[in-house]
Structure 1
C-alpha cells in the first residue's frame, strides 16, 4: 500500500455549501479515511459524494483532476477542486519515499467522463479503439508500476466480460505493490476478494461487505423479477 490514511483540515466552512454539505466530506474533515487493503471500492448512489471524494484524493496526491498520470499535474481543462487542495495523507511504509518526493510519485486518475481525452494525452489513440477498449488499454499499457491508481466509475464503458478483465488488472496491480481506490456502481468489481468496501450516503462513510451492499441486493432482486421494479417507473 501507498497510503494508510487520508484526511483534510479546514478551519471553518459552511455546512450548507457544497462540498461541505456532503456527509462523506464532512466525515473526511472530522475523522479522516483509513485504508486497510490495497484495493478500496467507494460505493454510493448518484449524488452521495463518491466521485467528489475520489477526485479529491487523486488531486491531493498530485494527479490532474481532469484525469491522467502523475506526469500531467494540472495540465487538463478541469479546475482544481476546493476539497482536493486540503487533502493530506499518512504514508504506508511502501509509500513514504513516494509522498516525500514529487519526482518519486507514480499514479493515474481515470475519470469516466474525460478518460478518452486524458488517454489521448498519454499517447493512446482514442480514435483507434472503442470507448471500452480505450479504458482497458490504459490498464494494459499505463497501469504497470507501483503507485496510487484512482478510478471513477471505470465500468461505465465496459461490458460484462470487460469488467471481468478489469478485475484481473486491478488484482495484478495490487499484487505488484500498487494501491487502487475506485468509485463504482458495479457489483462485479466490488466482488474482488480481499477488497475493502466503503459505502457512502447520508450516513457519511461506513465499511461493509459485498453481500451487504444495497446495490448487490437490488441487482439480485431485479434479475429475479424485473417487473417488481419496472412497474414503479413504466406507465
Structure 2
C-alpha cells in the first residue's frame, strides 16, 4: 500500500457551496476515506462527486489535475482545485518516502478527456490508433512502477475485451506494489477479486459488496429484459 487514508481540513467554508456541499466531500472532511485494499473503486451516479474526489486525490498526491504521470505535466496552467490543495494522506512507509520527495513520487492520473495526449506522450501519433488502444498504450507504458495510480472512468473508451485486459494490467501492477483508485460505472471492472468498492451518493461514502451494487443490479435486470427499462424512455 502507498496511502492508507485521505482526508481534508478546511478552516472556513460555506457548506452550501460547491464542493463543500457534496456529501462525499463533507465525509472526506469529517471522517476521511480509508484505503483497505490495493485497488479501490468509487462508484456512483453522474453528479455524485466521484470525479471531483478522484481529481482531488490525484492533486493531493502531486499529479497533474489534467492528467499525467509523476515525471511529466500537461501543457496546462490550471492550478490545483480548492479541494485538491487541501487533501492530505496518512501514508504507509513507502508512501511516506514518496510524499516526502517529488523525486521519489511515482504514479499516474488518467482522465478520459486526455487519453489522446497521454498516447502522444507515449510516442504514438494520435491518429495512428483508436481511442481505446490509446488508453491501453498508457496502461502498458506508464502503469509499471509501485506508486499511486488514479483513474477517472477508464472504461469510457474500452470494449469488453479491453476492459478485461485492463484488469490484467491492474492485477500485475498491484503485485508489483502499486495502488489504484478508480472512479467507474463498470460492473466488469468492479468485479476485480479483492478490490474495495466504495459507493458515492447522497449518503456520502459507504463500502458495498459487488453483488449488492445498484449498477450491477440494473445491468443484470436490463440484460435479462431490456424492454422493462426502455418502455420508460421510448415513446
TMscore range, shorter length? over 0.9
Runs of 4+ in structure 1 displaced over 4 angstroms? none
SS in 1 for 2:173: helix
Which sections of structure 1, spanning at least 5 residues, go unmatched?
A: none
Per the normalisation by structure 2, the TM-score is 0.97
Q: CA deviation at 1:79?
A: 4.2
Note if contact 2:2-2:178 (Cα within 8 Å) is conserved in structure 1: yes
Note if contact 2:67-2:74 (Cα within 8 Å) is conserved in structure 1: no
Which sections of structure 2, spanning at least 5 residues, go unmatched?
A: none
Find the counterpart in structure 1 of residue 81 from structure 2. 81
* Whole-angstrom CA distance in 2 between matches of 1:162 and 1:76: 29
Find the counterpart in structure 1 of residue 57 from structure 2. 57
* Whole-angstrom CA distance in 2 between matches of 1:126 and 1:27: 40
Find the counterpart in structure 2 of residue 137 from structure 1. 137
* Whole-angstrom CA distance in 2 between matches of 1:41 and 1:33: 12
SS in 2 for 1:36: coil
How big is each residue's C-alpha offset from its partner over 1:173-192, in whole Å with a ceiling of 9 and x where there is no partner? 01110000000000000000
When residues 175 and 13 of structure 1 are mapped into structure 2, their CA distance, relative to the original with a 3 A threshold, is same
Q: CA RMSD in A?
A: 1.2
* Whole-angstrom CA distance in 2 between matches of 1:146 and 1:27: 28
Note if contact 2:5-2:33 (Cα within 8 Å) is conserved in structure 1: yes
Find the counterpart in structure 2 of residue 91 from structure 1. 91
How many pairs were matched up? 235
How big is each residue's C-alpha offset from its partner over 1:1-48, in whole Å with a ceiling of 9 and x where there is no partner? 100000111012111111111100010011110000000000000000
Find the counterpart in structure 1 of residue 213 from structure 2. 213
